[in-house]
Structure 1
Amino acid sequence: MTDAVASASEPPAGRRGQWRKNKKLDQWIVFWTVPGFFSLFGVVFVPLSWMMPPRSPSSSPSQIVEFMQSHNLLMACVILTLTFGLGPISNACYLIQIKRMSVSPAFRYAVIMGATTGTIVGMLFPLFCFGLGAFRRGYDPSVLAMLFDFGYLAFIGSLGCFCIMWMAFGLATILDENNILPKWLGYYTIWQYVTELIAAPVWITKTGPFAWNGLMTFWFAMALFVSWQFIVYVCIYRAIKNQPDEELENVWPMRESDSPEARPRASA
């Protein structure tokens, strides 16, 4: 009786290791690392370092020094240094789906270049500015104030890089005739990132709704971004799930080697 129960509880031999044969396994690994990265990104920027929500641009010199020389800030920079390489993985999810679309490769290249510039300006610059300020205790308050301004202006005032990037993604989605992603997502993406152009005034104002910690520049833009991020990942999930195995590049060599036409060439 116990043997029968044990054998019934074991999965069939043909199903063991079946997940390894999934031709989309690489895409799923990439897809599920992205929420993990953004979760860690949020932990680093909010409860660990309190870089976000942004400190006021009109903070006093003593407040800037206290923030810039925090041990938690330095720890946050260390963690971010070790993990920010996972950020480009999210772009790989988009690029795989754009490649399936019936649009020019120029859209894909625009996303790649926009992501590259955006990562340098919007992530590396703030990382080094805040990390440099926390690294050594002897910096003059005026130097720390400059790093403070540089870090926040780079992080919040560089949205133009991402605007062009996601405009290309949105246009590719709208013009695509293969219907890889829903058309409404393309319009939503363009609208969402056009509204982020309101970040431009952070360079000329230190108070009010258009400062880098203002209602419009930060809170409104952040609410739009977070909601868009959830929606676009649901759409990417469905696109990966619905993608036929025949379209996957990692099955092409197998398909070609199994074809009768390939066998004479292989033997020759």
Structure 2
Amino acid sequence: MTTVAGPATTASADVRTQTIGLWTGLCAGVVVLVGFLVYPGFFPPMSPSMPADEVAAFYRDNATMVRATMITWNLVGIMVLPLFMVIVVQMKRMATQSHVLAYCYLTAAVSGATIFALADIFFLVAAFRPNRSPELVQLLNDMAWIVFVAPVGMLVAQNLLLALAVHLDAGPHRVFPRWVGPFALITGLAMAPAAGAAAFPDGPLAWDGAVSFWLRNGAFVSFVVVMFFVLRTTLRRQAAEEGATP
């Protein structure tokens, strides 16, 4: 005898799956953040003006920690994506003319994950043979840092797309609170100047600068933390509206 799932059962499964994705993304984010905090090159961040010999010495002296951190990021970093995919699902629930904004958000999030993975690989390659020519180690270090910090276009796009979707949500029950739009816009604009890390070797826009490194990463972490609580509340409301089990 075949059992046909009713609307309430389907809604319950949908909310439950989104909740799993939300918590998976948060837990993976915590692991990535711990790796960020223990990585010896982030506090303080390595300077672009560091001589090649010092760069090579850093990777030679910290090869084990660099490898451990980057392997952890390689395995866990991609699991932050489910949190952003919950945002995509919720954007598709908004009363807009089409799902184009949600699909654009999805593309930007996947692009960001790919770039993050590339930066991770460059750090790993620099530590793979720390005894190679200091100039080659410095080159790999430059590539790792610039790829890690400078490509923020996809992050800015994500936040602008979310802000626009929230603004255009004309449904009787808004999916996200109205303030999420300005919040996404502000955090996106705060990350935008980090693009200068590819051109400025010193100052606040360098990859170790107050704007490119600290403001960019601080804005990103703040966005993830705030959106976790916003999404948790949204999922509970969706469950109540659809008669599903939270």
> Normalising by structure 1, what TM-score?
0.78
Equivalent of 1:155 in 148, 155, 161? 148
Amino acid corresponding to residue 128 of structure 1 in structure 2: I
Indicate the SS of the match to 1:119. Answer: helix
Q: Residue 215 of structure 1 aligns with which residue?
A: 210
Amino acid corresponding to residue 152 of structure 1 in structure 2: W
- How many angstroms does 1:22 deviate by? 5.3
Gaps of 5+ in 2: 1-10
CA distance in 2, matches of 1:143, 1:247: 58
Q: Residue 102 of structure 1 aligns with which residue?
A: 95
- After the TM superposition, which of the residue ranges 59-68 and 93-102 deviates more from structure 2? 59-68
Indicate the SS of the match to 1:168. Answer: helix
Q: Which has the larger radius of gyration?
A: 1
Sequence identity, in percent?
A: 23
CA distance in 2, matches of 1:160, 1:242: 32
Gaps of 5+ in 1: 1-20, 250-268
Find runs of 4+ consecutive structure 1 residues off by over 4 angstroms: 245-249
CA distance in 1, matches of 2:17, 2:204: 43
Equivalent of 2:56 in 54, 65, 73? 65
- How many angstroms does 1:210 deviate by? 1.4
CA distance in 1, matches of 2:43, 2:34: 10
2:70–2:120: 8 Å Cα contact kept in structure 1?
Answer: yes
Q: Residue 107 of structure 2 aligns with which residue?
A: 113
1:68–1:148: 8 Å Cα contact kept in structure 2?
Answer: no
Indicate the SS of the match to 2:200. Answer: coil
- How many angstroms does 1:145 deviate by? 0.7
Q: Residue 8 of structure 2 aligns with which residue?
A: none
1:37–1:86: 8 Å Cα contact kept in structure 2?
Answer: yes
Q: Deviations over 1:229-249 (max 9, x none)?
A: 222221111100100467599
- How many angstroms does 1:175 deviate by? 0.8
- How many angstroms does 1:222 deviate by? 3.0
Q: Residue 46 of structure 2 aligns with which residue?
A: 55
CA distance in 2, matches of 1:160, 1:53: 25
CA distance in 1, matches of 2:33, 2:198: 25
Indicate the SS of the match to 1:180. Answer: coil
Q: Residue 5 of structure 2 aligns with which residue?
A: none
CA distance in 2, matches of 1:195, 1:247: 37
Equivalent of 1:45 in 1, 17, 36? 36
- How many angstroms does 1:52 deviate by? 5.5
CA distance in 2, matches of 1:213, 1:192: 19
Cα distance change of structure 1 residues 158 and 63 upon mapping to structure 2, 3 Å threshold = same
Q: Deviations over 1:1-21 (max 9, x none)?
A: xxxxxxxxxxxxxxxxxxxx9
Q: Residue 33 of structure 1 aligns with which residue?
A: 24
Q: Residue 182 of structure 1 aligns with which residue?
A: 177
Q: Deviations over 1:118-140 (max 9, x none)?
A: 1112x111111010111124421
- How many angstroms does 1:62 deviate by? 2.4
Cα distance change of structure 1 residues 246 and 185 upon mapping to structure 2, 3 Å threshold = closer
Cα distance change of structure 1 residues 230 and 87 upon mapping to structure 2, 3 Å threshold = closer
> How many residues end up aligned between the 2 structures?
229
1:198–1:210: 8 Å Cα contact kept in structure 2?
Answer: yes
> Normalising by structure 2, what TM-score?
0.85
Q: Residue 7 of structure 2 aligns with which residue?
A: none
